[in-house]
Amino acid sequence: MFPAGEKWADDMNMIPTRTAALAVMAASFMTLAAALAEDAPRLTPVPVDENAGYLKLDQLPNGLALLPPAMTSPAEAFDQDVARAALALQGSDRFKLAALDADLHFPEAAGAFSCALGAPITAKDTPTLYRLLQRVMSDASNATAASKQKYRHARPFMLDGEPTCQPSEEEELRRNGSYPSGHTSIGWAWAEVLGETAPDRLDKILERGRAFGESRIVCNAHWASDVVGGRTIATATVIRLHADPAFVADLQAAKKEVEAVRAKNLPPQRDCKFEEHALKQTRWLTP
């Protein structure tokens, strides 16, 4: 558990008064980070395959140039505040939704934005969009690899001893740096791309993209600054993708697919009532 001794407000937007517990927590955090750095030979970045995405490795945005160093103050104290408050969501429907968001395997992952889009995203109904999301996932993930490897940021569950929403993945997560969040980079890149396929649904799609990243905080797998950094990398990646002819061609085809599937009024493949309820259980956790 995080150090005890503070009364935390129920409102997720309220920042509690810090006590000496934060100092203890920060010291523990630094110790973990140092240990993680010493473990460098075992640490591996997100698997990189330049043939899976649209971009070659030397075309990816430079996260080391775009992001501030990890573990800076006062961001560190804010990270700890948010992580501790988010523990109250464990076991809730929001935690269950965060677990769904954590699964990046297709076809399941393709449905994460189906409610926001108002249509199914499947290999059958939207084949070009389905494949586009897979390729964008690879680019958005690969763009975080250099920063993850450099900073080797320890994750919240490594400090607080509480579970994540994917217990079976925790051992791998221990060996993979936290900063910036690869899941967030993927989710925000998806949101930006999907927003272009259905501009009238843009607000709902971006709102879902924000929640997708914040699910990593709810999962106890990432810090708030990891999520913010992931969004930055995602935006840079999508901007670069628009200079790639293959991506642009696929995006245009995907737009037509989305128009066609929405005209058929086919339902999303996710439980939208559950998703709406779950998202109401938390307030925004990041700037």
Catalytic site positions: 183, 216, 222, 226
- Tell me what pLDDT residue 75 has: 83
- Tell me what pLDDT residue 88 has: 94
- Tell me what pLDDT residue 29 has: 42
- Tell me what pLDDT residue 23 has: 38
Cα separation values, 50 from 137, 140, 190, Å? 12, 11, 18
Going from N- to C-terminal start, the domains of the chain cover 52-279
Strands (E), 96-157: none
Instruction: Point out the residues of the chain with pLDDT beneath 50.
Output: 1-48
- Tell me what pLDDT residue 49 has: 62
State pTM to two decimals.
0.84
- Tell me what pLDDT residue 74 has: 81
- Tell me what pLDDT residue 72 has: 74
- Tell me what pLDDT residue 58 has: 95
Q: How many CB atoms lie within 10 A of CB 250?
A: 20
Buried b (16+ CB within 10 A) or exposed e, 69-104: ebbeeebbebbbbbbbbbbbbbeebbbebbbbbbee
- Tell me what pLDDT residue 3 has: 36
- Tell me what pLDDT residue 282 has: 86
- 52-279 topology per CATH: Vanadium-containing Chloroperoxidase; domain 1 (1.20.144)
Closest CA to 284 of 233, 224, 244: 224
Torsion of CA 134, 62, 72, 166, to 10 degrees: 20
User: Would you list the DSSP string of 167-235?
Assistant: GGGHHHHHTS--SS-HHHHHHHHHHHHHHHH-GGGHHHHHHHHHHHHHHHHHTTS--HHHHHHHHHHHH
- Tell me what pLDDT residue 177 has: 93
Torsion of CA 219, 221, 224, 228, to 10 degrees: -100
- Tell me what pLDDT residue 50 has: 58
Q: What phi and psi values does residue 14 have, to the nearest 5 degrees? A: -90, 135
